[in-house]
Amino acid sequence: MAPINQIQVAVIGGGVVGCAVTLALARRGVAVALLEAEAGLGLAASGTNSGILHTGFDSTMDELETELILASGALREPLLDALGIPVLRCGALMTARDPAQAEGIRAVAASARRNDIPVAVREDGALEIPGEAVTDPVAYTVAVAAEAERHGAALHVSARVDAIERDAPAGLRLRTESGLVIRCAVAVNCAGLHADRVARLVGDDSFSIYPRKGEFLVFDAPAGEPLERILVPLPSRRTKGVLVFPTIDGKVIAGPTAVDLEDKRDWSVRPGARAEIVAKAAVLYPPLADAEPLFSYAGLRPAGRGVNYLIGAAPPCPALIHVAAIRSTGLTASLGIAERVTQLVEAAGVPLGAEAALKGGAAPQHDAPWWRRTAEYRAGVAA
Ligand SMILES: Cc1cc2nc3c(=O)[nH]c(=O)nc-3n(C[C@H](O)[C@H](O)[C@H](O)COP(=O)(O)OP(=O)(O)OC[C@H]3O[C@@H](n4cnc5c(N)ncnc54)[C@H](O)[C@@H]3O)c2cc1C
């Protein structure tokens, strides 16, 4: 029989959301373990996004997603500083191509002001959003996890949860494919694309997650000129559209696309993606029209069918708390999400202590640039 670990909370999934939840609980003295299916942290959506820390300027008021984006903004600076997480505070520019778009930009500016986000409409109709920033999303994720470890959390990789049983008199017993058995009072389901599969383990089929693929092209800065800010189109209700943004390591990335899929293992970049991205990106940044990409990667957004930001206890099993369908802004909103989850964990009967100060420490290094790391890992897994 496998050894049994007795803890208070198990967090399932080591993306940015699971890592932030683990840190928030560990800082409050909770005995918490993080269980990640893959061989490392941040090897799914959290390692394959745009790395943008959004202000929430274009988010709709009164939605939970917006509330948690805005809550995160107030928590982020001390964390970035203490953990040495790299960030480019470059701001963003949204340009108008015609009068209809200029009208759309004025509406975005009004919504930004409702969310208390400073923006400025220029005379040419473009919108400046000085608070938008870019980070290395993998460095962010692993630094948050390392800080959780410094506060006593246990991190397990190659630990895919494949069974959850009710454990008398209260609590849960989790088993991983690798043979770990964990007894806990509460488990938090941060399994991204597979959050629906984890929910099924307790008989909850109330939601489903599908992959919305986003493809990117990575370029050396054309003519060696670093891009000074994030260039964004007017967003639609469905997507923020193809952006062009600088990276911490001086590259320029264009993307993402938005393609709804069924296959949760399809991390490929479609043959037609390059033409689609370049056509849109070159409108924002003409030097990309003739530039040769040096790499491409795809991310899979964990999109909920008819649901977004599903955060709450599983109806048939209140000891399992879902944090699912965190589709498009989870890097930005992770700290706010984690605060909300701590309240739910406390309501489920786990006592929380006072929040300990951040300890800080050397930022963990990852060997490949973040935009290459997950694509290469996924190619290796598929081979
Ligand atoms: C193309 C694209 C662009 C984006 N751009 C941005 C952006 O600029 N800014 C922003 O804020 N957000 C952005 N996002 C959204 C952001 O990446 C996601 O919201 C966020 O990464 C979701 O984090 P997560 O931890 O919920 O999921 P994930 O990162 O997918 O992590 C889930 C983890 O759970 C693990 N897991 C699954 N099943 C199990 C199991 N049974 N047992 C144990 N572990 C399991 C997985 O291996 C995975 O590591 C973008 C996303 C994409 C794909």
Index of the ligand 1 atom closest to the CA of residue 191:
34
Atom of ligand 1 nearest to the CA of 333: 11
pLDDT confidence of residue 261: 96
Shared domain for 298 and 215, answered yes or no, is yes
Closest atom of ligand 1 to 302 CA is 30
Give the ligand 1 atom nearest the CA of 46: 21
**pLDDT at site 3:** 59
246 and 203 share one domain: no
Give the Cα separation of 86 and 369 in Å (integer): 13
| CA–CA distances in Å: residue 230 to residues 90, 152, 258 | 7, 37, 19
Atom of ligand 1 nearest to the CA of 298: 1
pLDDT of residue 5: 81
- What distance in Å separates the CA atoms of residue 310 and residue 329, rounded to the nearest whole number? 13
Give a yes or no: residue 80 inside a domain. Answer: no
Residue 177 has pLDDT above 80, yes or no: yes
112 with 9, same domain: the answer is: no
d(CA 183, CA 195) in angstroms, rounded, equals: 20
CATH number of the domain residue 227 falls in: 3.30.9.10
Which tens digits make up the pLDDT trace of 211-263?
Answer: 999 999 999 999 888 899 999 999 877 778 999 999 999 999 999 999 999 99
226 and 366 share a domain?
no
Q: What is the pLDDT confidence band of residue 109, given thresholds at 50, 70 and 90?
A: very high
User: Looking at the structure, do residues 101 and 192 belong to the same domain, yes or no?
Assistant: no
Ligand 1 centroid from CA 13, angstroms: 9
CB-based contacts of 45: which residues, under 8 Å, 6+ apart? Answer: 15, 192, 193, 299, 300, 301, 302, 330
| pLDDT over threshold 90, residue 340 | yes
- For range 161-177, the mean pLDDT: 93
Q: Classify residue 83: in a domain, yes or no.
A: no
Spell out the residues 6+ positions from residue 13 whose beta carbon is closer than 8 angstroms to its own: 35, 36, 37, 189, 190, 191, 192, 194, 195, 198
Residue 355 lies inside a defined structural domain of this protein: yes
Average pLDDT score over the chain: 95
What CATH number is attached to the domain comprising 334? 3.50.50.60
Q: Shortest CA distance to 17 belongs to which of 211, 191, 208? A: 191
> How many angstroms separate the alpha carbon of residue 188 from the centre of ligand 1?
15
Structure tokens at 46: 């959290």
pLDDT at 238: 72
Mean pLDDT, to the nearest integer, of 351-364?
93
Domain range enclosing 376: 4-49+138-208+306-382
Q: Ligand 1 centre from 121 Cα, in Å?
A: 33
Q: Does residue 104 fall inside a structural domain?
A: yes
Rounded CA-CA distance 287/76 in Å is 33
Domain boundary among the residues 286, 302, 318 is at 302
Tell me the average pLDDT across 163-170.
88
Which of 255, 272, 302 is the last residue before a domain boundary?
A: 302
Both 268 and 203 in one domain: the answer is no
H-run or E-run covering 265: none
- Using CA positions, which residue lies closest to atom 26 of ligand 1? 192
Give domain status of residue 354, yes or no: yes
Asked, for residue 62, whether it belongs to a domain, the answer is no
User: Do residues 123 and 161 both lie within one domain?
Assistant: no
On whether both 296 and 152 belong to a single domain, the answer is no
Average pLDDT over residues 146-164: 98
Q: How far is the CA of 22 from the centre of ligand 1 (A)?
A: 15
Has residue 371 been placed in a domain? yes
Residue 119 token pair: 């923006």
**Over 60: is that where the pLDDT of 2 sits?**
no
Instruction: Using the predicted structure, report yes or no on whether residue 348 has a pLDDT greater than 70.
Output: yes
Q: Give the ligand 1 atom nearest the CA of 331.
A: 11
Q: How far is CA 297 from the centre of its chain?
A: 16
Mutation choice for ligand 1 from 11, 34, 46, CB with most ligand atoms inside 8 A? 46
Counting ligand 1 atoms within 8 A of each CB, the residue from 49, 188, 212, 264 with the most, and so the one to mutate, is 49
pLDDT over 60 (residue 296): yes
Residue 53 CA, ligand 1 centroid: distance in Å: 14
Judge if 174 and 322 occupy the same domain: yes
Final residue in a domain of this structure, among 284, 302, 320 = 302
> Residues with Cβ < 8 Å from 347, sequence gap 6 or more?
none
Are both 121 and 151 inside the same structural domain? no
CB-defined site of ligand 1, < 6 Å: 12-18, 35-38, 43-46, 48-52, 54, 160-161, 190-194, 198, 214, 256, 299-302, 326-332
For residue 169, cis peptide bond before it (omega within 30 degrees of 0): yes
301 Cα distance to chain centroid: 9
Residues 94, 201, single domain; the answer is: no
pTM for the complete prediction?
0.97
For the cut 60, the answer to whether the pLDDT of residue 1 exceeds it is no
pLDDT of residue 383: 73
Strand partners, 230: 92
Mean pLDDT for the stretch of residues 77-88: 96
Asked if residue 127 is part of any domain, the answer here is yes
- What pLDDT, on a 0 to 100 scale, did the predictor assign at position 212? 97
CA nearest 242: which of 229, 250, 231, 252?
231
Domain co-membership, 125 together with 215: yes
More confidently predicted of 292 and 362:
292
Work out how many domains the chain is built from and give that number: 2
